[in-house]
Amino acid sequence: MPTILSIETSTRACSVSISKGHEIISVVEEVGDGYSHAENLSVFIAKALAESDMNYRDLNAVAISKGPGSYTGLRIGTSTAKGLCYALDIPLISVPTLQAMAYGLSKESNYSNDTLYCPMIDARRMEVYSAFFNSKNEFVRETQADIIDESSYLNYLSDSKIVFFGDGSAKCKEIFSSNSNALFIDDFHPSSQYLSLIAIVKFNAQQLEDTAYFEPYYLKDFVAGKPKKLI
């Protein structure tokens, strides 16, 4: 049974887990008001290994949440994962962030099989990164950036109950509050443990990344802000 280190840094959640086969052995994570991934990630990895009574050489692969999400968070997670893969000569596995979120919620809830899952990541202003998944964790609509208004997702909401969750879902809550097919889960954050069971399937199928050329899925180009002048 392969031992996989999973890393989630696409949002404010910094999360690390160790799994052996289909069993989650250790989870170390924190959701802060800001982004402290650069300070926390290596510490969390060391703590997760210690809690699992393992060392780096026990790892068979590293799984990374590939995005979309925070540009800086994804870069930190990816560079750390690549460094470990090169140093340990083990493969890199990537899992779409929104798919892992949908998988995690579906396993923790008891919605009917015809319910759709719409994980959302805040993309600033009234924009979100979102996708739709069925109860089998299959894409119903691929990941894209959406500007939320009264007409958003009406073609899906007219036919199905949809669970909206993630830090971008608050932008929809008031707009869709009168629609009985719109369901909302508050305070749901991405977690590395949601990657693990998808990663084991990919590992067994040898669906691995080329570590040298892998890049996170940013979805949108990074735009650096201009620093404010000090007066």
Sign, CA dihedral 5-140-184-168, equals positive
CATH superfamily of 3-96+190-204: ATPase, nucleotide binding domain (3.30.420.40)
So where are the chain's domains?
A: 3-96+190-204, 97-185
CB neighbours (10 Å) of residue 53? Answer: 10
pLDDT of 73-128, one tens digit each? 999 999 999 999 999 999 999 999 999 999 999 999 999 999 999 999 999 888 99
User: 88, 96, 101, 104: which is closest to 24 by C-alpha?
Assistant: 104
pLDDT of 217-231, one tens digit each? 998 764 444 554 544
Phi, psi of 216 (to 5 degrees): -65, 160
pLDDT of 58-68, one tens digit each? 999 999 999 99
Kindly state the helix (H) or strand (E) to which residue 5 belongs, with its residue range.
Answer: strand 3-8
The whole-chain average pLDDT of the chain stands at: 93
- pTM, two decimal places: 0.92
Regarding the domain delimited by 97-185, which CATH topology (the fold level of the hierarchy) does it fall under? Nucleotidyltransferase; domain 5 (3.30.420)
